[in-house]
Chains A and B, each alone.
Chain A
Amino acid sequence: MKKTRGSDCSDKSARRDRTDDLHHIRVGEARAQVSSQRAAGIKEEWAVNTITSDAELLLKIVEARYGRETHARIRTERGEWDPLRRQALGELLRKAELDRPVRPPKHARFAAFLLPWAYQHIIFGDLEEQYPKWVEECGRPKATFLYWWQLVLSAIVMLWPRIRFWRYLVAALWLALHILRAWH
C-alpha cells in the first residue's frame, strides 16, 4: 500500500492534530468518513480490538453503512487519497448497494388515493414488479424517480376524465345559477 503524507502512526501527537481533518464520501443517505490511518487509530470508533488489513477496514465501513450501525465514522489523516484504496472502497460500497434488498419507495403507498380504487392494487403490483429491473438497469435513484413518475403519470391519465366531468358539472351549475338569478 502506498504510504501517504502523514501516515506515520508512531507520531501520536501529529496524529491527534490531524483527527479533525476528515474526508467525506456521500453514499446514499449515510456518510462514511474514511481514514487511511492505521488500525490502532480507528479502534475507539469501531469498538473493535484490531483491524489488520485495509480490506477489513473497508468491510467495516460497509458493515457500518449497511449493517446494524447507521453512521460510520473513521478518522482520516491529512493528505491525498490513495487511489487504490478509494477504488476498493467504491467497489465494496457498490457491491453492498447491489446486495441491499430491493424494495420500492415505501411512502408511495400513501399516494394510492390518487388512483381509482379498482386499479390501486394492479398498478402498485406492476410498479413493484418493475422496480428491481429498473434498479438493475439504471440504479436506485433513477429507479425511484421512474417509480414515482409512472405513478403520478398514471394518476393524471386515469383521473383526467373524472376531472373533465366535474369541470363540466361545475360549469353547468354555474350557468344554472346565473339563469335562476336572471329569472328572479
Chain B
Amino acid sequence: LTSADVISYIIGQMGSAPKLGELEQLVLLVVLRLGDDAYGVTIQREFLSVARRSISLGAIYTTLDRLEAKGYVSSTIGGATPERGGRAKRYFVVEAAGKKALVRSLDTLRALTAGLEASVKGL
C-alpha cells in the first residue's frame, strides 16, 4: 500500500464514516465478545481482564447509550436476581449496523497502520 492509496481510502470513507470513538469501538468489541451475556458487570470485568483497562460503570452505560442512539446496539431488561438485591440487569447486543461500523472502523485502522511495523515497535 502506498500513502496515496491510504489517503484515497480514508477520503473515500469520510463521507460515510461511522464516527466511532476509541471507547465506543472498545465497548462494541467487548459486547460482541460477550454475546448474550453482555451487561454492566461482565463488560467491566472483560475490560479489566482483556483490555487491561479499568472503566467505571457510568462510562460504560454512557457509551452504550450513545451507541444505542446511533442504532449500533440494542438493550433489553433482564429479570431481577437476588444477588443484585432484586434489581434487573440491562443486557446489550450489537446490531448489524454496529457490526458494519466496527468493521469499517477496524479497516480504517488497519489501513492506517499498514507499513508502520518497522517505524512503530510492537505494532
Chain B's interface size range is: 10 to 19
The chain B residue with its CB closest to the CB of A158 is B58
Q: Is A122 an interface residue (CB 8 A)?
A: yes
Q: Which residues of B contact A119 (CB under 8 A)?
A: 58, 61
Q: Is B113 an interface residue (CB 8 A)?
A: no
Q: Can you identify 21 A-B contacts, CB atoms within 8 angstroms?
A: A115-B58, A121-B87, A122-B90, A123-B57, A123-B58, A123-B61, A125-B84, A126-B44, A128-B84, A128-B87, A129-B81, A130-B44, A153-B56, A154-B56, A154-B57, A154-B59, A155-B58, A156-B58, A157-B58, A157-B59, A161-B62
Q: Which residues of A contact B87 (CB under 8 A)?
A: 121-122, 124-125, 128
A residues contacting the other copy or chain, number (CB 8 A): 22
Whether the Cβ atoms of A121 and B88 lie closer than 8 Å is: yes
Query: What separation, in Å, do the CA atoms of A126 and B89 have in the docked complex?
Result: 8
Bitwise interface map of B from 52 to 95 toward A, beta carbon under 8 Å scored 1, else 0:
00001111011000000000000000000101110111100000
Task: Show the binding face of A for B, using Cβ within 8 Å.
Answer: 104, 115, 119, 121-130, 132, 150, 153-158, 161
- Residue pairs across A and B with CB atoms within 8 Å: the count is 62
Q: Which 6 A-B pairs have the closest CB atoms?
A: A154-B58, A125-B87, A157-B58, A125-B84, A126-B40, A153-B56
Q: Which residues of A contact B62 (CB under 8 A)?
A: 157-158, 161
